[in-house]
Each structure stands twice: as structure tokens, then as C-alpha cells.
Amino acid sequence: MGEKYKWYLDERILQSQKLASIGELSAGIAHEINNPLAIIRQEAEWLQHILKNKEVLDARGVEELKSGLHQIIQEVDRCKDITHRLLDFARKRKPVIQAVELNKIIEDMALLVEREAKHNNIKIIRQYDANLPLIYSDGPLLRQVVLNLLNNAVHAIQKDGDVTITTCLSEDNTIDLIVSDTGCGIPKEHLDKIFDPFFTTKPEGKGTGLGLSICLGIIQRLGGRISVDSAVGQGTTFTIKLPRQPEAGGKNE
């Protein structure tokens, strides 16, 4: 009974942290959705103008109608893409081990973070291994880890800096994901505590202290390892090593 309750509590905490991560992105996401909405309104008003003035509804006017409708469809698809990524990330579901394209998962989360990061002149640098093999893992759980690391990296930089995402197949046959930032860095005395539940270096009210603890739990659950290297004033690097396939019996307990 105790183990079952612990699993239930872990799942509730994971879901809460997931929603909190989405909340941190809400301003950037709202801004990104408002852009295509503004274009849609502008195009719709122009189409109304053309339709009201029958004398301009010649061949050129018809072409403008087609162009305007095409632009509206493109912007609607853009909004749809943003909301679908969020829904896929937020949806609560039981862990499922299946073939995963790690680069795509990372890129989906990078695009979400990048929309907000650009406002603070923070660049997301991709160094993906194009020949990275598929791994057998849980995609939504990996999304949670990647989003948390990227959010932390952007927060550590605050303004004007780089977040570099690297993927590669290591010599020990693990799939490596490395997230580096040029932020403030973590004091040496805190490095051995950052994965502890409720420990946070963020100002009061800015973090729960659960994010990295949950990341550690997820990566261990998937048979991997996570480590950190940091220096104050120079930045931080998180390295995740994932097996190409988790050991039998170690993925759903």
C-alpha cells in the first residue's frame, strides 16, 4: 500500500511540475499566438474590403482573395502547431516505452523555449547528431526533462547569452544529451544538492525546487544517468546519458 501511494504521489507531483513549466512559458506562447492572430485579422479585413468593392473584384482581386485565404490557412496551422505541442506535453498518460527520435523531441521543446528566449536576446544553438539512432524510451517523460533543463538554462542567463543543445552517440554506446548555458553558474557548495527535492537557487516564489529532482527520477527510471558541471560566472552544463533500450523490468515500476 505504501509503495502504491508513493507512486501515486510521484505521478501527481510530476503532473504539477509539468503544468508549472507550461505556466512559465505562457507569456511567450501568448505572444507567439497573438502574432498569427493579428495577421489573420488583417487579411480577413482586407478580404472584406475586396468583397465589398465589386468593381475591384477582377482577376487581380481574385488573386488577392486566394493569397489572403492562403495566408490565413498558414497562420491557423501555425497556431494549431503551437497548441498541439502544448497539449501533447501536458497530457497525463501512463509511461510507454517505444521507439523515440530524441532530436525531434528536443527540437519541439527548444522551439517552445526559443519563442520566449528571443525576447531576452538568448540564442538556442543546436548541435544535433544527424545520425543519432532511435532509442526505446518514454517520449513525454523525456520532453518533461528537456523542457525543465532548457527553462533552467534560460533563467540562469536572464539576458544576452547562449544555450547550446548537443546530442551524440558516445563511445560507451549511450545516447548523450548535453545542455550548456552561459548563465550565472552554480556555487560549488550547491552542486551536490541541486537534485535534492525542494532545493532551489531561484528567488522565493520563482521555483519549487522539484524540477531537477523529478528530472533525476525520470532519467533513472529510464535507465540513464544525469550529471552537472558548473562554475560561477561561467555557466552550467547538464549531461544526460540514455541507454538505447532500458533493461527489462526497469521502466515501469
- Domain boundaries, given as residue ranges, for the chain: 2-90, 98-242
d(CA 158, CA 122): 8
The percent of residues in the chain predicted with pLDDT above 70, rounded, is 70
The class of domain 2-90 in CATH terms is mainly alpha
Cβ neighbours of residue 252 closer than 8 Å, sequence gap 6 or more: 94, 95, 97
Q: Do 2-90 and 98-242 agree at the fold level?
A: no
What pLDDT sits at residue 214?
A: 77
CATH fold, domain 98-242, is: Heat Shock Protein 90 (3.30.565)
What pLDDT sits at residue 181?
A: 96
Query: Taking residues 52-58, what's their average pLDDT?
Result: 65
Query: Taking residues 159-175, what's their average pLDDT?
Result: 94
Supply 8's cell numbers.
501515486
The percent of residues in the chain predicted with pLDDT above 90, rounded, is 32
Contact 159, 116 (CB under 8 A): no
> Residue 236: which pLDDT band, with cuts at 50, 70 and 90?
very high
Beta strand 175-181 pairing with 235-242? antiparallel
d(CA 70, CA 37): 14
Compute the half-sphere exposure of residue 33: CA atoms within 13 Å on the CB side of its CA: 15
Query: Taking residues 63-75, what's their average pLDDT?
Result: 82
User: CA angle at residue 212 from 211 to 214, to 5 degrees?
Assistant: 70
